[in-house]
């Protein structure tokens, strides 16, 4: 997160003091670096410049319209998993022909809408879904472009909640059944086989799972060719990890170069990737204010105004995220190993455990690496309005989502 740095003891983001940003927009507050987001996407795109390709940002990581629009301007495609995400990408100005539709439970209405706007491809995750898409396309007199999401049964070596490529996971079609389902798809009147898709998990920090999955996918591509089925694109999904603490994940160029070596004999196949976390995670921070300090026996608590409703990753799968003070403490301030906890009435409402801080009431803390799966997973639990979101660059900062009001909490409810 090179856009964050201390100047005379105060934390700045792109030359803007965190304290000043918080004073203007309030807390809790999400702040994103547009420069960082654009740089990450461009690096991924440049690594593939030798091949026909498409980078489809996985918008579940962070779906704010300002972020999507910035990526649209770079030429990005998008990976979506719901009609809501489809409508978001269209609102942001996306080209439907650059949208791939993943997800295990596509409804009839979602399929109709995607066919109506003309998306690039459905990533089909079950045989039953294939037949539903055929039925909808036939009724609408359209041809549905599809790829099958193949589950290669590869261990992504990540947290079980974000692993998707093992046979016990709900995602995709078993590698062993892939050829048979493709043959069935080839016989359907309103289905066009375009590609093959694979996504094995999230926050991968080594290349071997990607390469193992690629070997299985390419083996299936060869089998399909022998069966007379031509694959136009391979979608290698996303999942590239980022640094939250001391991880050293591969660069996007490392991943691309390793995979391209395996694709030497497939020069005409278009390559797709679906990065999400690697584009936005380290673009974002969550600013929160210390409401109270509480010392209890050997336990020390910094009770802040942001909770698991704002940032659920630590509570959901024990994610570790760096926490920094907005102002470095002087030597006269006592330091303790604090549990940084929020206002939610759950014992799991912990943003960070055992963090060495010299925190005091009304201080500002910054939770780092919060750009992915932060706001996009936020909720109104305990009837808390969701935070505002702000975009910063070298010259400006601007509001990209208003803070919710209390009236918004019960909008649509009826007494």
Q: Which residues are annotated as catalytic?
A: 345
Paired strand residues for 85? none
Quote the tokens at residue 249.
């994940």
Q: How many residues does this entry show for the chain?
A: 415
DSSP per-residue string spanning 225-261: HHTT----EEE----B---SSS--PPPHHHHHHHHHH
Phi, psi of 196 (to 5 degrees): -140, 140
The number of angstroms, rounded, from the C-alpha of 42 to the middle of its chain's C-alpha atoms is 17
Write out the two tokens for 8.
Answer: 């005379």
Nearest one of 158, 130, 159 to 146, comparing CA atoms? 130
Give 316-320 contacts, CB < 8 A, sequence gap 24+. 316/161, 316/377, 317/159, 317/161, 317/162, 318/159, 319/244, 320/244, 320/245, 320/352
What are the tokens at 227? 């069966």
Q: Are 29 and 387 in contact (CB under 8 A)?
A: yes
């Amino acid at each position: 997160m090179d856009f964050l740095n201390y100047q005379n003891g105060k934390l700045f983001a792109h030359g803007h003091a965190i304290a000043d940003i918080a004073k203007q927009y309030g807390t809790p507050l999400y702040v994103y670096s547009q420069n960082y987001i654009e740089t990450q996407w461009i690096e991924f795109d440049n690594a593939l410049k030798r091949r026909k390709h498409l980078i489809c940002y996985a918008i579940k990581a962070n779906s704010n319209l300002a972020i999507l629009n910035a990526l649209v301007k770079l030429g990005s495609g998008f990976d979506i998993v719901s009609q809501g995400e489809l409508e978001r990408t269209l609102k942001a100005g996306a080209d439907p022909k650059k949208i791939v539709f993943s997800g295990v439970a596509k409804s009839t209405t979602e399929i109709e809408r995607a066919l109506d706007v003309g998306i690039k491809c459905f990533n089909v995750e079950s045989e039953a879904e294939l037949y539903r898409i055929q039925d909808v396309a036939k009724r609408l007199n359209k041809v549905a472009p599809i790829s099958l999401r193949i589950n290669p049964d590869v261990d992504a070596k990540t947290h079980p909640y974000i692993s998707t490529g093992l046979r016990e996971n709900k995602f995709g079609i078993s590698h062993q059944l892939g050829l048979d389902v493709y043959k069935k798809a080839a016989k359907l009147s309103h289905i066009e086989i375009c590609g093959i898709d694979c996504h094995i998990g999230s926050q991968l920090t080594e290349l071997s799972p990607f390469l193992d999955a690629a070997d299985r996918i390419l083996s299936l591509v060869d089998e399909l060719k022998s069966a007379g089925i031509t694959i136009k694109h391979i979608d290698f999904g996303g999942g590239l990890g980022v640094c939250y603490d001391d991880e050293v994940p591969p660069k996007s160029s490392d991943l691309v170069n390793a995979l391209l070596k395996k694709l030497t004999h497939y020069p005409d196949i278009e390559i797709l990737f679906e990065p999400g976390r690697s584009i936005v995670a380290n673009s974002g921070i969550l600013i929160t204010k210390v409401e109270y300090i509480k010392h209890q026996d050997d336990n020390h608590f910094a009770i802040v105004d942001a909770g698991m409703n704002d940032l659920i990753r630590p509570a959901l799968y024990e994610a570790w995220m760096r926490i920094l003070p907005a102002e470095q403490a002087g030597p006269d301030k006592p330091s303790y190993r604090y549990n940084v906890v929020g206002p939610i009435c759950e014992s799991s409402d912990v943003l960070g455990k055992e963090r060495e801080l010299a925190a005091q009431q009304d201080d500002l803390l910054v939770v780092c690496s919060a750009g992915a799966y932060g706001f996009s997973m936020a909720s109104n639990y305990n009837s808390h309005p969701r935070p505002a979101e702000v975009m910063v660059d070298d010259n400006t900062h601007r509001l990209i989502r208003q803070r919710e009001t209390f009236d918004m909490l019960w909008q649509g409810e009826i007494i």
